[in-house]
Amino acid sequence: MPNTQYLNTHNLQNMTIPIKKSKFTQELNEAQLEGVLATEGPVLVLAGAGSGKTRLLTYKIAYLVLELGIEPRSILGVTFTNKAAGEMRERVEQLCGGSLGGMWLGTFHAMCGKLLRIDGSAVGLGENYSIYDELDQRRLMKDIVHDFGLDPKEFDARRVLGTISSCKNRMICPEEYLPLTEDPKERTLVKLWTAYQDALKACDAVDFDDMLIFAVRLLQENDELRQKWARKFKYILVDEFQDTNLVQYELVKALASFHGNITVVGDDDQSIYSWRGAEVRNILDFPEDFEGTTTIRLEQNYRSTGNILEAASAVVANNAERHAKTLWTKGQKGELLRVFKLPDEYAEAKLVARMIREQIDGGVSGSDIAILYRVNAHSRLLEEALTRQKISHVIVGGIRFFDRAEIKDTLAYLRVVVNPDDDVAFGRSVNMPRRGVGLQSMNRLREMAKAEGKSLYRMLIEGDMSGFPPRSREGFAEYIEIIEELRATARSADAGEIVGQTLRDSGYLKMLEDDGSFEAKSRVENLSELLNSGIEFANTHPEDPSIRAYITEVSLLAGIDSYSPDEESVSLMTIHSAKGLEFGTVYVCGLEEGLFPIARAMESPGELEEERRLFYVAVTRAKERVALLWAMSRHRFGMEQYSSRSRFIDEIPKVLIEGDTDAKPEPSLFERKPSAKKAVSGAINPGTIVEHPFFGRGEVRGVQGWGENAILTVAFPKYGTKKLLLKYADLSVVRG
């Protein structure tokens, strides 16, 4: 059943080498070929956008299999998304002419997940461990903050978890952190952290960060296991290396510790995940850490026109922290980049839709067009405008399918079936749909479980429930029955069958059907889609169609992973999601100061440079045509907000753009008169004269609220009465 084709190395070596070899020489340039042929030892490929890094990696894997006869099971390939992994696998199999089932090709998280299922017991994980997403984590942390008797406002679960996560990304553990700090709040934080890890352990669960950390610990603390895995992977290849974090770096190091054949490719100018702990130094310092590194630079760009390339390069050259790179193309200079200035976001969306309509009518296929933006919230208006123009489209990201409440509720049952210690999943499913188990009963069960050191579900099964009110006892009994029946089925059935049974037996579907509202109907539809997805998973994963494998897979899905556009559909996504993709035409929307670059990044030079890299990524997705749009006004939190054109547009050499190329508006907007005081709410009352960068002077008519969130009603002689949010308005007081 598994792949024997690839192992037919005699055949390959004797007959097909000349043909295959020409494939490598014909479809790669010299520098790429050099990277492919450098199979032994550490190799660093540092090169700009569209220079064929991913192609190099893909062909290199094929080369290892075809030319060196390496078994796929000895190859580890790491990509940034599951989708990229799927595409690379497909391409490599195409090149090799056969299935490569044994090859490990996936994201860091998927790979660690697999490793931990096999050897996780070495770091205290059960084989059925759960993976907690952000919501699960927050639930856990909220309960802990509550149990500690702390103020949930002061110790906001999200924030606490954010701090913990950034520590984890930097490989700091609670024990190391504690001695470093005297600050009482931080000491409390460490206690929360420790309690959080204990809680995870009790639930036999890991969060996303832990998946990587546990895998590293497994390899670092256990010589035998490190040997086992490091020997297994004779060749390791990592794409998008500029966006790896410290933990991933250690992981790579440990895995490469035996054979040392490690190829990493990336572009420091495309490092856009530092907020998630990515360390661009990983790629820049690679040669120092891996002795004898062969460094390869790819300088020919195969994707974009000369003008696009020049514009992108000119903008990113404004970053101080970077490796200068040469990038050239044999192609045409092509069109100029077009800049459009619009009065508001509605006009922006309308214009994009109209231009796309024209393109499509002119014969361009929708799938060759992308609309990119900085924030997901931006997608809505654009989508509406496309719908109005009857342009078929797909939105990538935003609320993911598997993040919908009804999907998570249903999967919570299955998580308890797989891992009965998963208290968060238990808490989510036990009273959904309502079966009479309220807060009182839950708290009581929690107390009991805590006292006996058991998980909630185990406590429920093993404990004496006689003290509970009849109503909740019935509910509990019903729940146990559902779970146990599912468990019995799960022994032999696959993911599709079990999802089906869950929908039927949990009463969830019935609850929605009884509801009958529009909202409920759409939820029912989603659940039926969940069922399809479970069935499809079982069909496409014959080696392990279990519900456990299914849950693991969906826990690690990103929005982009389910992206499979058809010929007609235009793609809408954030620039982050667009990393690694390419389109004939790219529309970049929302190019305003405060939105892109985003306000929060404008204070720190480091973060501003990341915004600029993001812009570089956006523009370099395009092959032929780039449109850059900005709106003078835009609603934010339901409030109208006025902005000026993004500095990134101004950083493009004027000769490369057409359209709204006039110089910055009146300088007075930027050089505030020294006499003018920055407006704060205390100083503003009805009657106050204020100055606005766009509307000029106006008289305050009313003030609602207080502080930076105050909403002002201001009458401007030329523009009429406007409501402004003080936080964003950038007003100065002219006269009190």
Partner DNA sequence: CGCGGCATGTTTTTT
Partner DNA sequence: ACATGCCGCG
Residue ranges binding DNA (CB under 7 A): 80-81, 107-110, 133-135, 142, 153, 158, 208-209, 272, 275-276, 374-377, 397, 405, 431, 434-441, 469, 471-472, 556-561, 573-574, 576-577, 598-601, 635-638
Q: To the nearest whole angstrom, how small is the minimum distance from the Cβ of residue 280 to ligand ATP?
A: 14
User: Of 119, 136, 209, 239, which is the active-site residue?
Assistant: 239
Structure tokens at 172: 């700091």
Q: Is 240 a catalytic residue?
A: yes
User: Of 67, 93, 209, 240, which is the active-site residue?
Assistant: 240
Q: What angle do CA 125, 129, 135 make, to 5 degrees?
A: 120
Q: Is 232 a catalytic residue?
A: no
Per rule CB under 6 A, is residue 28 in the interface with ligand ATP? yes
Q: Which C-beta is closer to ligand ATP: that of 269 or that of 505?
A: 269
Per rule CB under 6 A, is residue 419 in the interface with ligand ATP? no
Q: To the nearest whole angstrom, how small is the minimum distance from the Cβ of residue 512 to ligand ATP?
A: 42
* Binding residue count for ligand ATP, defined by CB under 6 A: 17
Q: To the nearest whole angstrom, how small is the minimum distance from the Cβ of residue 674 to DNA?
A: 30
Q: Kindly identify the residues of this chain, within the stretch 50-109, that bind ligand ATP according to CB under 6 A.
A: 50-55
Q: Kindly identify the residues of this chain, within the stretch 196-215, that bind ligand ATP according to CB under 6 A.
A: none
Q: Cα-Cα-Cα-Cα dihedral of 236, 240, 245, 251, to 10°?
A: -10
DSSP code of residue 420: T
* Interaction mask 500-529, ligand ATP, x per CB under 6 A: ------------------------------
Q: Is 270 a catalytic residue?
A: yes
Q: Kindly identify the residues of this chain, within the stretch 298-327, that bind ligand ATP according to CB under 6 A.
A: 302-303
Measured in whole angstroms, the distance separating CA 410 from the mean position of its chain's CA atoms is: 23
β-pairing, 294-296 with 43-46?
parallel
Asked if the peptide bond before residue 597 counts as cis, ω within 30 degrees of 0, the response is yes
Measured in whole angstroms, the distance separating CA 697 from the mean position of its chain's CA atoms is: 43
Give Dmax over CA atoms of the chain in angstroms: 90
Dihedrals phi, psi of 389, to nearest 5 degrees: -85, 5
Q: What is the per-residue burial (b if ≥16 Cβ within 10 Å, else e) of 135-144? A: ebbbbbbbbb
Q: Which C-beta is closer to DNA: that of 35 or that of 559?
A: 559
Q: To the nearest whole angstrom, how small is the minimum distance from the Cβ of residue 283 to ligand ATP?
A: 12
Q: To the nearest whole angstrom, how small is the minimum distance from the Cβ of residue 114 to DNA?
A: 13
Give the residues across from 622 on adjacent strands: 583
Q: Is 163 a catalytic residue?
A: no
Q: To the nearest whole angstrom, how small is the minimum distance from the Cβ of residue 356 to ligand ATP?
A: 22
Q: Is 510 a catalytic residue?
A: no
Backbone dihedral region of 580: left (phi > 0), alpha (psi from -120 to 50 degrees) or beta? left
Q: Using H for helix, E for strand and C for coil, what is the string for 205-245?
A: EEEHHHHHHHHHHHHHHCHHHHHHHHHHCCEEEECCHHHCE
Distance between CA atoms of residues 349 and 354, nearest Å: 9
Q: Is 60 a catalytic residue?
A: no
29 touches, from ligand ATP, DNA, none (C-beta below 5 to 8 Å by class): ligand ATP
Comparing every residue's Cβ against ligand ATP, the nearest one is: 52
Q: Which of 5, 29, 220, 274 binds ligand ATP (CB under 6 A)?
A: 29
Q: Which C-beta is closer to DNA: that of 92 or that of 437?
A: 437
21 touches, from DNA, ligand ATP, none (C-beta below 5 to 8 Å by class): none
Which strands make up the sheet holding 104-106, listed edge to edge? 104-106, 75-78, 235-238, 262-266, 43-46, 294-296
Amino acid at 301: N
Question: Which residues are at the interface with ligand ATP (CB under 6 A)?
Answer: 28-29, 32, 49-55, 267, 270, 302-303, 580, 582, 620
* Residues with catalytic roles: 53-54, 239-240, 270, 621
